[in-house]
Structure formats: structure tokens, C-alpha cells
């Protein structure tokens, strides 16, 4: 299945989307896509089949988000802790990722036409070299798309993301790119790989964050549903957004960032892109 599935809504569903869009729609929604293994067990299938069904559901969900006009989506695809699972399951997940990213590369014209920008967040050094090259190629090929940013948290935990951001800030001070007085919560927020979601959705009945976006969700609306991720429907998504509309905090104006911080962040972003290009070309 393609990364963004076409024609997944009926006329009535499209009407309901338009009704929901008359209210405030989150500009960034995050998903903890939980329940793939339980889905496989429920249907007497292999675990790998459950994960594959989970990807198919992601492709549907991305189309719904495009229809809703949501410009940023973040999904928790693979935790660093998942490496502790059985060798068979980890290997199957790596193979699934290879297959899907290769498909994305093959369909890059369609992805660019839809305006989807890919960003893979996490400790990518933990991934096999060939997979690192593929995800880097996907990011570079979609770098200038601006209709929907898809962040995929892969080989990721929130604590690891925070520790890596802290290390970058320390290096910035050592290299005279930052002053110690520049270090505050604003700088940390901008140094992290992932931005702050307005709404976080977790499926499968679990009510934990599981080390996902720990810094970013301090003001996010949380929505938990019992449905397993492969069985997630547009009605579940619309229910989550209505929940958000009932509980969303007021929109805060962003304060301008200082020149010294901005220069540091621009250098950091430039280094990240250069590292991706080196990885693809080596």
C-alpha cells in the first residue's frame, strides 16, 4: 500500500469532516500507534502481519489528516526499547521499514505532489546502515514539501531525544555558538527534533506515554481510545478532534527568538542536512 491512500472517505464522511473543520482543528497531532501485536493475535496472524496492517492504517490516517487540513503529524513507530523484543520480530520490523521506505522512494513523485515532507526522528545510528541511507534519502527528497510534515519517531525515546538536545546545547556553549545565559526552556524546545503537538492520541486502551515526546506534551490534549491501531477509523479520529475542541487551551502567541539562539539553531539544522547528504553519498 502507498504511503498516502487515496479515496478513503465516503461522501458522508467528507461531510462530517467539513462539519468538524468549522471548529478548531489541531495543527499538530501525534499518534502512539499501539495494538498491532494484539490485532495479529486477535486474528490468528503472525506479528509481522499486524505491523503491516498498522502501516496500512497509517496511510489511511494521513489521507484523513490531509482532508482535515492538519499540517503536521507525528507517529511513534519504533522505540529504542523495542530492540529488546525477539530477534525475529525486530528483524521483521526492519524488513518492513525497508520495504516501506523503498516504496516511498519509488513513489516520490506522488509524495511530492501531495506535499508531504518526511522527517525521521530518533537515534538513527542504531539502525542498519542500508536503512539509515533510505530514510536519509526520503528526508532529502521531500525536504521542500510544505503541505503536511510527517514525523516518524524511529529508534526513539523521549528521554534520549532530550539527552541528545542537551548534548548539542553543551557543544554549542563549548564552541562559542551560545552563551550560558541563552540556555532556557525555549532553547531546549527548539533544539529537540520534534515540535509540540496540540493533540496526542493513543490507541489500544493503554493510558501511558511510553517515553514519547515527554518534553513536548506538557500542554497537549491527550486522547486515549480502546480501539487497536489497525482498527482505527475516521470516526475515532473525528472523536479525538472533537475531544480536542472541548479541552484545547487558548492559543498562545509565539515569542520572538533571540538572534544568538536563532543563529545556533540555523547552524544545527544546516549540519543535520549535511550529515544526511554525507550518509546518502558515502
In the chain, where the domains are located: 11-157+195-257
Helix 87-106 and helix 47-68, axial crossing angle in degrees, nearest 10 = 40
Given a cut of 90, is residue 251 above it in pLDDT?
no
pLDDT score of 253:
81
Helices (H), ranges, the chain: 11-20, 36-42, 47-68, 87-106, 108-114, 129-141, 158-174, 185-191, 234-247, 259-281
d(C-alpha 45, C-alpha 25), whole Å: 36
Catalytic residue positions?
34, 51, 148
pTM reported for the whole predicted model? 0.94
For the stretch 180-213, pLDDT in tens is 999 999 999 999 999 999 999 999 999 999 999 9
pLDDT score of 255:
79
pLDDT score of 4:
72
Cβ–Cβ < 8 Å for 163, 86:
no
Phi/psi of residue 146, nearest 5 degrees: -140, 15
Given a cut of 60, is residue 1 above it in pLDDT?
no
pLDDT score of 87:
92
CATH of domain 11-157+195-257: 3.40.1180.10
Mean pLDDT of 218-234: 97
Pairing of strands 148-156, 72-79: parallel
For the stretch 77-88, pLDDT in tens is 999 999 999 999
d(C-alpha 16, C-alpha 106), whole Å: 33
Q: Which residues pair with 222 in a beta bridge?
A: 200
Q: Does 135 or 9 have the greater pLDDT score?
A: 135
Of 28-37, 43-52, 115-124, which gets the smallest average pLDDT? 43-52
Per-chain mean pLDDT for the chain: 93
Mean pLDDT of 75-99: 93
Q: Does 282 or 187 have the greater pLDDT score?
A: 187
Given a cut of 60, is residue 21 above it in pLDDT?
yes
Pairing of strands 29-32, 116-121: unpaired
Amino acid at each position: 500500500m502507498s504511503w498516502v491512500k487515496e479515496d478513503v472517505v465516503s461522501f458522508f464522511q467528507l461531510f462530517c469532516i467539513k462539519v468538524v473543520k468549522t471548529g478548531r482543528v489541531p495543527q499538530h497531532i501525534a499518534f502512539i500507534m499501539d495494538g498491532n501485536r494484539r490485532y495479529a493475535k486477535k486474528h490468528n496472524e503472525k506479528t509481522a502481519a499486524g505491523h503491516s496492517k498498522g502501516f496500512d492504517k497509517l496511510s489511511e490516517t494521513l489521507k484523513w489528516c490531509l482532508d482535515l487540513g492538519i499540517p503536521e503529524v507525528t507517529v511513534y513507530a519504533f522505540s529504542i526499547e523495542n530492540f529488546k523484543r525477539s530477534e525475529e520480530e525486530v528483524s521483521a520490523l526492519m524488513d518492513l521499514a525497508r520495504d516501506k521506505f523503498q516504496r516511498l522512494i519509488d513513489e516520490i513523485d506522488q509524495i511530492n505532489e501531495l506535499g508531504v515532507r518526511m522527517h525521521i526522528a530518533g537515534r538513527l545510528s542504531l539502525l542498519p546502515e542500508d536503512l539509515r541511507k533510505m530514510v536519509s534519502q526520503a528526508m532529502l527528497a521531500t525536504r521542500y514539501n510544505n503541505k503536511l510534515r510527517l514525523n516518524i519517531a524511529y529508534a526513539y525515546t523521549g528521554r534520549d531525544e532530550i539527552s541528545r538536545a542537551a548534548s548539542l546545547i553543551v557543544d554549542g556553549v563549548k564552541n562559542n555558538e551560545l552563551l550560558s545565559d541563552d540556555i532556557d526552556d525555549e532553547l531546549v524546545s527548539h533544539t529537540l527534533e520534534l515540535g509540540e503537538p496540540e493533540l496526542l492520541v493513543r490507541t489500544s486502551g493503554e493510558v501511558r506515554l511510553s517515553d514519547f515526546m515527554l518534553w513536548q506534551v506538557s500542554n497537549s490534549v491527550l486522547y486515549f481510545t480502546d480501539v487497536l491501531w489497525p482498527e482505527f477509523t475516521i470516526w475515532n479520529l473525528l472523536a479525538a478532534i472533537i475531544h480536542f475542541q472541548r479541552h484545547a487551551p487558548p492559543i498562545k502567541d509565539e515569542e520572538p527568538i533571540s538572534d544568538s539562539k536563532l543563529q545556533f539553531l540555523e547552524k544545527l539544522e544546516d549540519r543535520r542536512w549535511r550529515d544526511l547528504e554525507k550518509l546518502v553519498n558515502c
